[in-house]
Amino acid sequence: GENVEQHPSTLSVQEGDSAVIKCTYSDSASNYFPWYKQELGKGPQLIIDIRSNVGEKKDQRIAVTLNKTAKHFSLHITETQPEDSAVYFCAAGRDGTVWREGGKLIFGQGTELSVKP
């Protein structure tokens, strides 16, 4: 079935360093790839997303790259800050052909990022 693998499960970096989280997906029809940040006791919050018609997207310190051939995508956080510490989830989804299809997201297992001051 559909599957998303996420690595690493934990990541510790020094403030100011970069952090990279990688995901691979199994469904070749996937065309939507969001990244969510989840802080303790809160619901996931979208931080960036990318569609399969582009290979890279940036938003300030955050960037996502997509390699459709290899079926993997990555989140890059530069100049990390302590407030970036959280659990990050990647997900993959695909558009359906009719209204009753599509929408469902398949999530990775999460990466706990710790940024040390």
Partner 1 sequence: GAGVSQSPSNKVTEKGKDVELRCDPISGHTALYWYRQSLGQGLEFLIYFQGNSAPDKSGLPSDRFSAERTGGSVSTLTIQRTQQEDSAVYLCASSLRPPPRTDTQYFGPGTRLTVL
Residues that bind partner 1 in the complex, under the rule CB under 8 A: 4, 6, 31-32, 34, 36, 41-46, 49, 89, 91, 93-110
Nearer to partner 1, 86 or 93 (CB): 93
Cα–Cα dist 91/110, whole Å: 10
Find the farthest-apart pair of alpha carbons in the chain and give their distance in angstroms, rounded: 49
CB of 106 to partner 1, least distance (A): 7
CB of 113 to partner 1, least distance (A): 15
CB within 8 A of 15, min separation 6: which ones?
80, 81, 82, 115, 116, 117
Cα–Cα dist 35/6, whole Å: 11
CB of 76 to partner 1, least distance (A): 20
CB of 34 to partner 1, least distance (A): 7
Nearer to partner 1, 18 or 29 (CB): 29
Asked whether 6 and 23 are in contact (CB, 8 A), the reply is yes
Nearer to partner 1, 23 or 77 (CB): 23
